Homo-oligomer: A and B are copies of this chain.
């Protein structure tokens, strides 16, 4: 049997004596605040005040509290890092139980696992495609019904006068839809607000955003997005598909639903963060694929946002899920539209076909495209800045659910009013020819056989408007219409993003860009009326759309591929790439991308691809948290319960040390154990009753840990009697015996690379005799970022 060891905690000074070194109660987790530092480096400014650096559990006591995750909890300062977000374990916990299971498994067993992975990816694809199909049909039905009612009403009142009644009808219908969506989101599942892309980015990055991949979130998201789009808001239904796909993946891959309390006893092997993340990547890719009909773009999106470690088989599976997803959508939509076998609906948004013969570009147009890219970057930065201030305002003043719903209703009403006004005062009448297949042409005050062009843009779902801007004949819009539309829609879209409704920003961005892009095309054509080159403003609409979207979201490779796949034409690859690149460079000069802004405002400890360039002079010694609360390999139950119960620290990972009894050798690191594992051990009372000098430790299976995953109960819910507190607990079997360690002189970029490449949660800093002297967690690395004045250090928020 292993030697019984004393309890020790290591302070950063390396004193190996003390339970309560320097009078500070280390064991109960109250830590010695590090002295504030003012480090002088090459042009670096450091913020002071780092109070606590440990990896905190999100508020585990309020498991079923629907209030949680509300914006009011968000510290409204981007110079903070929140401690409420937990990290995910993307490094396998290779403890004895795990290794025994792996060693027991035969070659055939691994092959079966591989096959189940493929089956799951297929299921993810099918379900995501079905959800996309459902959203598409519902939106078409509801919006169609709405536009039909309003059109009839407008036609009735255009002749008899009293169009204000139509306006009121429009506004009321919009508000009704938005009310349903807003109430669902604000009162039932606040995390379902917005597009969900920032949340999925964080999840793939390794941050556990509470409740983000739950069934309830999915239901609210789907209903919410249908209501928002049908409610005529300046939103798209594409962004939320990515979130939906991710939730589907997280659900299917676990073979059970915790919300529905159903366990199908399948896929139990996949019940850990590493495997789940892989499936969530596939789900997000399937979502992109269904949204844009872009399977390769979906794979690249997942990789660009998530994968730190590229694995060939994984990528292939992700691609499979994406393909199945777009195929399913296409298949069912073709049946729904009564044209089975038709392959023209690969995605929710369909840009229509750009035939390379008719709409080719010329080399000398490329500089023009690049200028449009710069304009897109500028407008994108403006959009993001406005939205940034608006979000700050919302965090401060609009954080109660009812206020959020009221704001959503206000936006819905204003959108209807503005649209109506624009249409009403527009006198851009276009002939209603056979080539114009407008779904709901509004005649209003135009002559018979003509329709109001402004209504093409406003009186339509945004997807249709985008397609009209890309493909309508030259001359379908006059410049004034487009200019006014751009202006109003820009502000409407900016106001709408961040509301407590479920909605995406892709389509509004594309629409704004397509409008001003087409305007550019028309203006160019008017300068050189004789040249046939500028004849088609559709390609300028496409370039403008790419520029605007790139300027707002700042995605790169994946967005290029998504755009290319959505246009179905590889010819535009080069100009789209150049435009996105310029838009990103120009935009980044002024303001970050929209998703990054929202991630920052939530104070999420997000790890970028590399450590800041000028951070080589920081070492593990400076970034690590210390002192570290360690456990002995055989530890008293009471001590464990006390440490876990300490709400002021809430450590999540504990190095396990071993010290030979009656020896003055320093205690050595011998493993790492997680809070969640200890909770399971306590719950199953895996104690060694030393007092009775017999071993009654119950044999625990890996299954017990998997059953508890991912909602481990809080420590408060586990009752430990006074007798049991005196027992000992042997951690040997459950701890990870080979945690990664670094010496304390390791530079920050090196620590960062190790941490990021392997998806770690805790990295132990050890000295040259293998004593624990610190622990590096996600927050310790995420704190450093490159600001205007060089390297800056973020504060850690206490909320």
- Which residues on A are within 8 Å of B, measured CB to CB? 41-43, 92, 94, 99, 102-107, 110, 293, 295-296, 299-300, 303-304, 307-313, 315-316, 319-320, 323, 326-327, 331, 340-341, 343, 346, 353, 356, 360-363, 556-557, 560-561, 564-565, 568-571, 573-574, 577, 581, 609-610, 613-614, 616-617, 668-670, 737-738, 740-743, 745-747, 749-750, 753-754, 757-758, 768-770, 786, 790
B609–A103 CB distance below 8 A: no
Q: When A310-B308, A570-B568 are in contact, do A742 and B747 touch as well, CB less than 8 Å?
A: no
Q: Which residues of B contact A561 (CB under 8 A)?
A: 296
The smallest C-beta distance from A13 to any residue of chain B, in angstroms, reads 19
The smallest C-beta distance from A663 to any residue of chain B, in angstroms, reads 13
Can you identify 20 A-B contacts, CB atoms within 8 angstroms? Answer: A43-B107, A92-B750, A99-B617, A107-B786, A304-B315, A307-B310, A308-B309, A309-B309, A309-B310, A311-B610, A312-B556, A323-B573, A326-B574, A341-B362, A343-B361, A668-B768, A738-B746, A738-B750, A740-B754, A757-B757
B747–A754 CB distance below 8 A: no
Q: Which residues of B contact A92 (CB under 8 A)?
A: 750
* CB-CB nearest in chain B for A576: B323
* CB-CB nearest in chain B for A669: B768
Q: Which residues of B contact A103 (CB under 8 A)?
A: 41-42, 616-617
A341–B363 CB distance below 8 A: yes
A565–B557 CB distance below 8 A: no
Complex partner residue of A327 from B341, B568, B574, CB under 8 angstroms: B574
* CB-CB nearest in chain B for A566: B570
Q: When A102-B616, A617-B103, A741-B741 are in contact, do A560 and B319 touch as well, CB less than 8 Å?
A: yes
A363–B331 CB distance below 8 A: yes
Instruction: Give Cα A250–Cα B611 distance, bound, in whole angstroms.
Output: 26
Q: Which residues of B contact A560 (CB under 8 A)?
A: 319
B341–A670 CB distance below 8 A: no
Q: Which residues of B contact A300 (CB under 8 A)?
A: 296
Complex partner residue of A42 from B41, B99, B104, B346, CB under 8 angstroms: B104
Q: When A319-B557, A556-B312, A750-B94 are in contact, do A343 and B571 touch as well, CB less than 8 Å?
A: yes
B614–A110 CB distance below 8 A: yes
Q: Which residues of B contact A304 (CB under 8 A)?
A: 312, 315
Q: Which residues of B contact A316 (CB under 8 A)?
A: 556-557, 581
A323–B577 CB distance below 8 A: yes
Q: Which residues of B contact A571 (CB under 8 A)?
A: 343, 568
A557–B299 CB distance below 8 A: yes
Select the residue from A346, A571, A613 with max chain B CB neighbours within 10 A: A613
Q: Which residues of B contact A309 (CB under 8 A)?
A: 308-310, 753, 757
The smallest C-beta distance from A642 to any residue of chain B, in angstroms, reads 28
Complex partner residue of A742 from B106, B617, B738, CB under 8 angstroms: B738
A320–B107 CB distance below 8 A: no
Q: Which residues of B contact A668 (CB under 8 A)?
A: 768-769
Instruction: Give Cα A613–Cα B112 distance, bound, in whole angstroms.
Output: 12
Instruction: Give Cα A754–Cα B304 distance, bound, in whole angstroms.
Output: 21
Q: Which residues of B contact A326 (CB under 8 A)?
A: 574
B746–A753 CB distance below 8 A: no
Complex partner residue of A323 from B312, B574, B610, CB under 8 angstroms: B574
Instruction: Give Cα A163–Cα B248 distance, bound, in whole angstroms.
Output: 69
* CB-CB nearest in chain B for A101: B616
